[in-house]
Structure 1
Amino acid sequence: MRMPPIPPAELSEEQRPLDDHVRKIMSGLRTPFTSMDDSGALIGPFPVMLRFPDLARPLLDWFTSVTSGSVLPARVREVAILTIGSRYGAAYELYSHGRIALEIGLSSGVVAGLVAGQRPAELTPEETVAHDVAARLYAGAPLPGALYLAAIDAFGELGMAELVFLIAQYSSISMVLNAFDVPLPPDAE
């Protein structure tokens, strides 16, 4: 762990508004995972973000703009997030979003397959498109025309854009998690 959690009592005046903002975001989300330690300090990517509030605020604003008013089904979102997390090997992302995926109805087999970097056969056609878009963009290549059109057909133009921005966002979060060697909480499998 390169940047340990910051207990609430030790937050600076510059860090406290960002900590409050993160807690507000988290309170509005399904969080079937551990996001605080025993002292009440935020864990996951948040200790890093709190140490660099000027860099983190735009990332969090981007997060809320992509997640508010989402047109993508929750399962599609989680398939894309887990696909990206598996490609980067971002352990905390896979832990937290694996739990979210299970809570919203993806089977344990599908979640395990996605976490292992596979394309589970049990994905719906829309989930398959989300997986394929995420995998292709991670590979660093343009989307083939047929895949682009399949995504537009599945999600509409706005949904396709949301999918791409979601993939970019979780690629960024994966990089933060990996660069700062963010550990898993004790309850992670």
Structure 2
Amino acid sequence: MTDELVGRPERPGPPRSRPQARADLDPERAALHDLIATGPRRAQSRVPLVDDEERLLGPFGAMLFSPRIGSAVQQVGAALRTDPDLPPRLRELAVLTVAAHTRSEFEWTSHEGTARDAGLTSTQLQALLDGTEPAGLDAAERHAWRVARALLVDRDVDDELYAAALGALGRDTLAALVWLVGYYSMLAGALATFRPAGPGSR
């Protein structure tokens, strides 16, 4: 049961941009479409990345607007998804911290199930929605949440938090965490600006 959560992000309004048919894409955009639509990301995703006509949805559809940059962006996402320095539970904790703060419905919906599979509880997910530190986190997860919130809310990581996070996470995981927060914040910005069609859009 997942319906007990209060305050999940909701779609801000109707789509501003419609999915693009592959047949209408130039070669550069078609290549990016195929990379996303037929790659491992699609097989691993809990929400559809394409509609019933194989048109890209959500932030992936928006990546087609600037295909050279979109290609680089999706490569960053693929690297973060498989980075061994980011344990699955810590990674999903950070992703949903961004999704809750930015009110990104697509990001929250895409990752809630994965976060539960990684071991985050309903109580912990509710805390993320409320903007409060979840109970029951280990030291690395606590500091990951604190760094993510500092980046999102304060746009700064002070010396005390930096030293504590470096000790709890190590340099490599801390670096990967910072890139992760930036990546999902960027996707949330694209979603908020273009409001691309998502699963179930009308």
Q: TM-score range by the shorter chain?
A: 0.7 to 0.9
Question: 2:64 matched to 1:47?
Answer: no
Q: CA RMSD in A?
A: 2.2
Helix, strand or coil: the match of 1:83? helix
Pairing 1:155-174 to 2, within 5 Å after superposition: 155-174=169-188
Aligned 8 A contact 1:91 1:183 in 2: no
Identity %: 30
What is the Cα deviation at residue 140 of structure 1? 3.5
Tell me what 2:11 maps to: none
What is the Cα deviation at residue 7 of structure 1? 3.0
Tell me what 1:133 maps to: 147
Tell me what 1:14 maps to: 28
Question: Which is worse superposed, 17-26 or 167-176?
Answer: 17-26
Question: 2:133 matched to 1:106?
Answer: no
Rounded Cα–Cα distance in structure 2 between residues aligned with 1:2 and 1:45:
12
Tell me what 1:118 maps to: 132
Question: Which amino acid counterpart does residue 69 of structure 1 have in structure 2?
Answer: D
What is the Cα deviation at residue 183 of structure 1? 5.0
Question: 2:29 matched to 1:26?
Answer: no
Could you state the TM-score of these two structures normalised by the residue count of structure 2?
0.81
Q: Runs (4+) of structure 1 moved beyond 6 Å?
A: none
Gaps of 5+ in 2: 1-14
Tell me what 1:176 maps to: 190
Cα 1:115–1:35 shift into 2, 3 Å? farther
Rounded Cα–Cα distance in structure 1 between residues aligned with 2:144 and 2:196:
26
Rounded Cα–Cα distance in structure 2 between residues aligned with 1:32 and 1:64:
15
Aligned 8 A contact 1:95 1:184 in 2: no
Rounded Cα–Cα distance in structure 2 between residues aligned with 1:103 and 1:44:
23
Gaps of 5+ in 1: none
Question: Which amino acid counterpart does residue 26 of structure 1 have in structure 2?
Answer: R
Question: With CA pairs under 8 Å and 6+ residues apart, which has the higher RCO, 1 or 2?
Answer: 2
Rounded Cα–Cα distance in structure 2 between residues aligned with 1:36 and 1:18:
13
Give CA deviations for 1:158-189 in whole Å, capped at 9, x if unaligned: 111111111111111111111112455239xx
Question: Which is worse superposed, 68-77 or 57-66?
Answer: 57-66
Question: Which amino acid counterpart does residue 30 of structure 2 have in structure 1?
Answer: R
1:77 is aligned, of 82, 88, 91, to: 91
